Amino acid sequence: MDKQSEAALNIDLEKERKEILNAFKGLLRATKNRSREDTRLIRKAFDVAVEAHRDVRRKSGEPYIYHPIAVARICAEEMGLGATAIACALLHDTVEDTHITLQDIEDLFGPKARLIIDGLTKIPEVFDENASIQAENFRKMILTISDDIRVVLIKLADRLHNMRTLGSMRSDKQLKIASETKFLYAPLAHRLGLYSVKSELEDLALMYSEPEMYSKIESSLKSTKDVRNRFIRRFVHPIKEALLQEGYVFDVKARTKSISSIWRKMNNKGIPFEEIYDVFAVRIIVDTPQELEKSNCWRIYSIVTDFYQPNPDRLRDWISTPRANGYESLHTTVMSPQGKWVEVQIRSKRMDEIAEKGLAAHYKYKESKSEESKFDRWIAEIRDLMDNADSNAMDFVNEFKLNLFADEIYVFTPKGELRVLPVGSTILDFAYDIHTDTGDRCIGSKVNNRLVPLSYQLHSGDQLEIITSSKQKPNDEWLRFVVSARAKQKIKSSLNEVRKSIAADGKEILERKLKQFNIRFSSENISFLEKFFGLPSTTEFYFRIAKGKLDLSRLREIENVGGALQFDKKSGQNKDRLENDIIPKINKKGDTIIIGQDFKNIQYQMARCCNPIPGDDVFGYITMSEGIKIHRINCPNAEHLLSKMATHCIKARWTGQEMVERVAGIRINGIDQIGLVNRLTEIISKEYNVNMKSISFETEDGIFEGKINVLVYDLDHLEKLMHKFEQVEGVQRVARWDKKEDLNP
């Protein structure tokens, strides 16, 4: 390097040092109510992190230290966390990425910091077809939730900053991280009451998974912003005047619905942007003492409804009964003079801080024991999930997710004690919520003094009395009757005890059989046989032997070398083919399947769940037995596959190829008219020369829904056909249709 270049580099490094220092000063400014001791702790963590990450840069080219500073600032500014959490946020990547060890962290910052950093440090990435690395990392992080909730809060801040800076990553990496965020981290933020974090995570995930739809909604919101603001000013004016007259100290904000929330509503209801009436909500935040919160919020509700007619079905009282994540607010939907429904949220300043900063804000308002107990209760449920040592990381993640996004119902014990359960809960969910023994021995219940079966679905306001019997035991059928993670885990745990007892008999049977074939009873041979029969665990293997569901005479097919088993080279299994044939051939970072061309002699096919056609954004998923399946990026299964099974996913794209017809589904909604179906079929067969695979129409009270499967050449061909349908009189909406019920990837 010549002196001139070296001088230029030194100038850049000096500039960077100043910018890093400015970023740190910004972090200190964002840290509220800090003492001198807090400042010293944060400064010490910053110095250690700067030194540890000194020569490391991010994908964007900027110094790595910007990332920990940004994560720490999110913890301080957007979550309201204290000095220990901020220091740990600055250090969160040091153990994983640098020479710093957990012992160094403990020596410098104490055992609490070590526990937090350990929870934030990923497990080694070793490929295993039975477990997702993402799921294992997630489980490790959640393991620390009962010891220190700050681990999860810092991890959410880390994920939020990674999503904000995702633009510098490869497109396949963007998609994987976005799917993982939507699948696990956004629901977790929701469960912890971090609504602004949850909304931003979902919006950023949508920006990378559905970029066109994101841009479309974003531009629609921008184009209607001025009209919306004028409407809001007129709407809130009389309410403000009345509140000022009453002497309230308050603030009125208008909150626009998040882009992901609008997209979810459009998708679920099959409606365009223009038909979503609650694009925004008006929030009234009153500054009032805690003992007057409830009465003042209801008084403000009365003032609002003096001006505007409320919808009685849309009143939500989360002040009398807060949500399980601590959210408190009074929601009503009222009719404006312009004939539009408007959601009004009424809450105190304390409630608003808890709604924005979630669990972190609860530490500030610890007076109410009921608030604390809701989180203690949730953490106790997580401990219950941890107790099941037999479950793998995937099972854990699936069961944990049940506890995240579920809406709630409120039911009562015979003595009037309130219990919060997920929507769809049954008698068994309630019984296990009371106690494990009550659940295991439950034979029925009286709901509102009426006898009901175990499968009865509860409703808010129900009062229950559980009926038990000492002779009752859980059975496999019960898993179909429950929705709560706690009940599922307890039932599985009881069933596993029974299975283990039966498996012990199976073990004895196998020992005798192996002796007969001169095969050693060793852990290596048992592992081999589990693979041979395609079973997930030793317990399941023994259980099936005891039940007579495995043909042990097949032991003759296996080569026996001095009592040790090994596969005959001529025979192979699908599972081994995945391990030994397909996986080693694929470089998941560098390879791309060019659809229409040969890919390393590995079979690939279009997935039935989303029927990709040329022009769709797609990826490949390596299956156990059917080669690679090509899925659309917005396939109903994509979020699941890209987040939990990312190690089996590979990039794919279309290429110019001979015209091949492929199946695509179209859903059409509208007002039923004579000859409408004939007109649609005429467009398909005569005007566009398209072949139909199937067609079905259902009509109810003059409204119809049609589902048509057609054979088209590519996305452009499909979109032209859909556009033609939209022009038919009576047709209100035309959308692409996926078989969401067919979730076999």
CA distance 181 to 190: 12
Alpha-carbon dihedral angle through residues 669, 672, 678, 684, given to the nearest 10 degrees: -10
Residue entry with tokens 């500014």: 77
CA distance 188 to 160: 12
Give the tokens for residue 149. 């909730």
The helix (run of H) or strand (run of E) holding residue 405 is none
- Of the candidates 671, 674, 688, 663, the residue with the CA atom closest to the CA atom of residue 738: 663
Is residue 309 exposed (0-12), middle (13-18) or buried (19+ Cβ within 10 Å)? exposed
Give the tokens for residue 742. 């067919």
Give the tokens for residue 585. 């051939």
Helices in 31-121 by DSSP H: which ranges? 36-52, 66-73, 83-91, 94-97, 102-109, 111-120
Decide: 42 and 86 in contact? Cβ < 8 Å: yes
CA distance 302 to 310: 10
Give the tokens for residue 130. 């039975």
Give the tokens for residue 400. 């944990």
Give, as one character, the DSSP assignment of residue 76.
Answer: I
CB neighbours of residue 139 within 10 Å:
22
Residue 19 appears among annotated catalytic residues: no
State in Å, rounded, how far the first CA of the chain is from the last one: 54
The helix (run of H) or strand (run of E) holding residue 401 is helix 393-402
CB neighbours of residue 670 within 10 Å:
20
Catalytic residue among 16, 77, 97, 129: 97
Residue 136 appears among annotated catalytic residues: no
Catalytic residue among 14, 96, 287, 477: 96
Residues 6+ apart with CB under 8 A from 456: 426, 427, 445, 447
CA distance 566 to 560: 7
Decide: 482 and 432 in contact? Cβ < 8 Å: yes
Q: Hey, which residues are catalytic here?
A: 96-97
